[in-house]
Amino acid sequence: MNKTDRMLAIVLELQQRKVVRAEDLASIFETSVRTIYRDIQALSESGVPVMGAPGQGYSLMEGYFLPPVMFTVEEAVTLLIGTDFVEQRFDPEYGLKARTSSKKIESILPEPVRADASRVRKTMRLLSPGNRVSLGEEKDYVEIVRRAILQERKVEFNYVKKMPDSNGNRKSFRSAAPYGLAFLQGAWTLIAWCDLRQGIRHFRLSRMKELKVLEERFEMPPNFDLEDYRPSDDRNLRVQVLANPDIADRVKESDNYYMETLEECEDGLLVSFRVRQLEEILQWVLGWGSNVVVLEPESFRDRIRDEGEKMLKRY
């Protein structure tokens, strides 16, 4: 980043935050504190009202605002593709806002930039999920949950779990305090305090049924930050399989959530998984047929063998 771009970025950073230390700016822009001192001095000499407080940092004089800056073609394309994504995957209200935002962005671009951005944008495409039956309901649930989070109201719903519990049940009724939404592996997931489990749990919106917002309110924990939140990892079972060389590329592309390592070896592709229970990757392994061999644990080899015998009896 050259000096001019860095100085502009410093002003934008100061506009977003009340006080910023020179050390933090140096870390953000990967330069020295001495360089930041020189940039701040140059900004002050050019008329930008930067104020410094010893031991605290720098800030802009109240009321100062940098006029809108011109977008490069790459920046414009980034914003426009972002609006495409919001329109596809967010609820109808934000979808509408995304369309109007896109028009506003395009309207303020100079004609050469707008033409180039349009040309580049046409070479890229965000593929929608197509005929996913639950997509419409999932998008509706995004809006319901989003409003519940803002209003700090609890929600209730019937939830269909991926794996059955110890009693063989997959459905359960839940009430929860919604803390945030995350877009994981192509699907929306609610992070919430579950009243049934008395802890933070994750719920995919596509598995929810009869979602309702309750009158009961909750208070967001003061120490909870969705940006910093990291779920506890309780995947303690390790599984190792060997895939034939012929399907190695397809196995890599499958990008299974539970994969940990991929290692090329003389006999094929060695794949390691970490799971909570073996059923989580049972269908994945069976789907490759004889092209994948389970190496460990022995109990999983036995399980695959049993499934194979059951299939043989059916045919």
Q: CATH code at 245?
A: 3.30.70
Report the distance separating Cα 189 and Cα 204, nearest Å. Answer: 4
Tokens found for residue 125 = 């495409």
Phi, psi dihedral angles at 122 (to 5 degrees)? -70, -20
pTM across the whole model:
0.65
* Mean pLDDT across the chain: 88
CATH code at position 50: 1.10.10.10
- The residue whose two tokens read 């800056």 is 69
How do residues 57-97 score in pLDDT, each as one tens digit?
999 888 776 665 678 888 889 999 999 888 888 888 898 99
Report the distance separating Cα 213 and Cα 33, nearest Å. Answer: 50
> Would residue 128 count as lying in a domain?
no
- Could you tell me the pLDDT band of residue 128, with boundaries at 50, 70 and 90? low
pLDDT at 161: 82
pLDDT at 23: 93
Is the predicted pLDDT of residue 126 greater than 80, yes or no? no
End-of-domain residue from the set 217, 249, 278? 217
The count of other CB atoms within 10 Å of the CB of residue 309 is 10
Is the predicted pLDDT of residue 190 greater than 50, yes or no? yes
Is the predicted pLDDT of residue 278 greater than 80, yes or no? yes
> Would residue 160 count as lying in a domain?
yes
> Would residue 293 count as lying in a domain?
yes
Q: What is the largest CA-CA distance in the chain?
A: 84
End-of-domain residue from the set 16, 31, 60? 60
Q: Mark whether 139 and 199 lie in a shared domain.
A: yes
Q: What is the mean pLDDT of residues 214-231?
A: 91
> Which domain, by its residues, includes 94?
73-122
Q: Exposure pattern of 189-206 as b/e (b: 16+ CB <10 Å)?
A: bbbbbbeeeeebbebbbb
- Could you tell me the pLDDT band of residue 133, with boundaries at 50, 70 and 90? very low
Q: Which long-range contacts (CB under 8 A, 24 or more apart) does 48-53 make?
A: 48/11, 50/14, 53/19
Q: Mark whether 23 and 83 lie in a shared domain.
A: no
Q: Mark whether 106 and 143 lie in a shared domain.
A: no
Q: From 156, 160, 149, select the one nearest 182 (Cα to Cα).
A: 149
How do residues 8-18 score in pLDDT, each as one tens digit?
888 888 887 77
Dihedral sign for Cα atoms in the order 212, 213, 218, 223: positive
How far is residue 301 CA from its own chain's centroid? 34
pLDDT at 165: 67
> Would residue 232 count as lying in a domain?
no
Structural domains of the chain, count:
4
- Could you tell me the pLDDT band of residue 110, with boundaries at 50, 70 and 90? confident
